[in-house]
C-alpha cells in the first residue's frame, strides 16, 4: 500500500490540504519556515517532522536580520549574540554565538539558510556543523522561547493573523 501523502501545512501549522493529485509522487513537501530561539514552535516542528516535511528556519539569529528593516520588536529584543546562555555555550565550544545558534537549529533537524555579506561569517556559518551541542545545551537555548515573532504579515499589509 502506498504511504500516506504528506500533509501541507502553512507556517502556523494549520492543515490546508493534501498535495494535489496532479503533483504525483514527486510532490515536494511544504517547508514551513520557523525562526529562532525566541520563537521555537516545538509542536509545529514535531507535526512537520512526523509528516516527513522538511523544516527550514529563517532568521536563525533572531532579531538580527530585522534590525535593518526598522522592525520595532527586533529593536526592543536583546540580540541573541549577547544572551548569556548563548555566549557561554559558544565560549565553552570555542565557537561564535552565530555558530551556536545555527547548530541549535541543525541538531534539531531544522534546515538553516543564513545570509551574510561577510566572507568570514559565511565561512563560520558553513563550519557550524563541525561541533555538537549537548541535549542540555539545546534545552537551555530552547528555554529562551518567548513566542516573539518579528515578521507579522499584518505589518506588511497582509490581512493574515495567527
Ligand X SMILES: NC(=O)c1ccc[n+]([C@@H]2O[C@H](COP(=O)([O-])OP(=O)(O)OC[C@H]3O[C@@H](n4cnc5c(N)ncnc54)[C@H](OP(=O)(O)O)[C@@H]3O)[C@@H](O)[C@H]2O)c1
Question: Is residue 59 part of the contact set for ligand X (CB under 6 A)?
Answer: yes
Question: Applying CB under 6 A, what is the total number of residues that bind ligand X?
Answer: 18
Contact 94, 124 (CB under 8 A): no
Query: What residues from 85 to 114 belong to the interface with ligand X (CB under 6 A)?
Result: 96, 98, 113-114
Cell digits of residue 152: 507579522
Question: Is residue 78 part of the contact set for ligand X (CB under 6 A)?
Answer: no
Among the candidate windows 23-31, 58-66, 83-91, 133-141, which touches ligand X by CB under 6 A? 58-66
| Sequence-ordered strand ranges (E) for 14-127 | 15-17, 55-57, 110-112
130 conformational bin, left if phi > 0, alpha if psi -120 to 50, beta if neither:
alpha
Cell digits of residue 72: 520595532
- The residue among 50 and 156 lying less far from ligand X, judged by its C-beta, is 156
Give the residues lining the site for ligand X (CB under 6 A): 58-61, 64-65, 96, 98, 113-118, 121, 124-125, 151
Amino acid at each position: 500500500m502506498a504511504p500516506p501523502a504528506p500533509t501541507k501545512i502553512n507556517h502556523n501549522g494549520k492543515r490546508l490540504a493534501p498535495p494535489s493529485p496532479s503533483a504525483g509522487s514527486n510532490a515536494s513537501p511544504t517547508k514551513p519556515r520557523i525562526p529562532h530561539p525566541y520563537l521555537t514552535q516545538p509542536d509545529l516542528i514535531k507535526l512537520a517532522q512526523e509528516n516527513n516535511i522538511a523544516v527550514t528556519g529563517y532568521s536563525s539569529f533572531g532579531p538580527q536580520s530585522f534590525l535593518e528593516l526598522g522592525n520595532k520588536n527586533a529593536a526592543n529584543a536583546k540580540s541573541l549574540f549577547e544572551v548569556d546562555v548563548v555566549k557561554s555555550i559558544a565560549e565553552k565550544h570555542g565557537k561564535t554565538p552565530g555558530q551556536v545558534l545555527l547548530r541549535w537549529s541543525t541538531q534539531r533537524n531544522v534546515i538553516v539558510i543564513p545570509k551574510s555579506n561577510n566572507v568570514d561569517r559565511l565561512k563560520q556559518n558553513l563550519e557550524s556543523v563541525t561541533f555538537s551541542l549537548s541535549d542540555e545545551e539545546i534545552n537551555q537555548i530552547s528555554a529562551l522561547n518567548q513566542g516573539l515573532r518579528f515578521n507579522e504579515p499584518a505589518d506588511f499589509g497582509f490581512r493574515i493573523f495567527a
